[in-house]
């Protein structure tokens, strides 16, 4: 039965991944994503349901538009598979529990904000606000009002900490080093993780972003790197692995 649920959540994840990609692509451009019809970016032709079956349509159409035969951006297909895998892993790791609800929220935010940050170097405030509400409601229903308020306090601490990093970075490098979206994102992360683990997320994100930054600088001759996806990857990693403060302290002491 558990294997069946894993398959179901993988399929559900591919469908949601398709929707999240649309949100990430359209919201920064102020386009409708709930009511607007999906269309080919090359010819503008409205797509039918058969043209939008997650993963399968891309494979059957061989990556080309059914109408104009132009190449389709594969980003949506990658995100569909990615989201499907993460949804299945979330169920495998947490089962039907409060933690599973939180995990689905983290995955959803990761996919949407990764798309928008990678494509447009922006993290929409609407998504930050939506998931702040999502995590707060989930925390209240799972743990109660007082713990939910403590999570909000954790979010404020991490917001202030990230803001301080930005001010220090701007002072040292004499230019903007962090976007406002990255700072606000830390508030949402703090709604789930305590301040200590939130700081660990920043270290993980910096470690992951460093080689990518050198690669972008070498290939594109620019130093503009979307940091949000790295923060969310570190966030997802800590939550899924269930690493806590004591485990990290014990690991440090082992040296």
- Residue 77 is predicted with a pLDDT of 87
pLDDT tens for 27-58 read 998 887 766 666 656 565 566 565 566 776 66
pLDDT in tens, 59-99: 666 666 656 666 766 788 899 999 999 999 999 999 999 99
* pTM, to two decimals: 0.89
Q: How many CB atoms neighbour CB 221 within 10 A?
A: 7
Alpha-carbon distance of 14 to 84, in angstroms, equals 5
Q: Retrieve residue 215's tokens.
A: 């690669």
Give the DSSP per-residue string, 54-109: TTHHHHHTTTB-TTT-PBPPTHHHHHHHHHHHHHHHHHHHH-SSHHHHHHHHHHHH
DSSP 38: P
Distances (CA, A) of 150 to 25, 33, 51, 215, 239: 34, 34, 46, 40, 18
pLDDT higher than threshold 60 for residue 166 = yes
What one-character DSSP code corresponds to residue 241?
Answer: H
Q: What is the DSSP string of 187-237?
A: HHHHTTS-HHHHHHHHHHHHHHHHHHHHHHHHHHS------HHHHHHHHHH
Q: Percentage of the chain surpassing pLDDT 70? A: 82
């Amino acid at each position: 039965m558990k294997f069946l649920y894993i398959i179901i959540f993988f399929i559900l994840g591919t469908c949601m991944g398709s929707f999240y990609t649309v949100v990430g692509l359209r919201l920064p451009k102020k386009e409708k994503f709930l009511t607007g019809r999906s269309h080919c970016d090359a010819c503008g032709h409205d797509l039918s349901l058969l043209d939008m079956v997650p993963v399968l349509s891309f494979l059957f159409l061989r990556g080309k538009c059914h109408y104009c035969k132009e190449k389709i951006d594969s980003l949506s297909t990658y995100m569909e598979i990615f989201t499907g895998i993460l949804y299945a892993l979330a169920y495998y790791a947490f089962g039907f529990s409060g933690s599973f609800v939180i995990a689905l929220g983290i995955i959803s935010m990761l996919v949407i904000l990764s798309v928008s940050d990678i494509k447009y170097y922006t993290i929409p405030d609407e998504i930050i606000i939506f998931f702040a509400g999502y995590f707060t409601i989930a925390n209240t229903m799972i743990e109660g009002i007082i713990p939910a308020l403590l999570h909000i306090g954790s979010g404020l601490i991490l917001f202030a900490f990230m803001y301080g990093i930005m001010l220090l970075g701007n002072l040292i490098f004499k230019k903007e080093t962090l976007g406002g979206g990255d700072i606000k994102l830390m508030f949402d992360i703090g709604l789930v993780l305590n301040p200590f683990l939130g700081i660990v997320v920043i270290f993980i994100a910096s470690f992951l972003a460093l080689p990518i930054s050198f690669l972008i600088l070498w290939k594109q001759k620019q130093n503009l790197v979307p940091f949000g996806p790295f923060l969310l990857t570190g966030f997802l990693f800590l939550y899924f692995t269930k690493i806590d403060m004591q485990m990290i302290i014990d690991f440090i002491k082992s040296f």
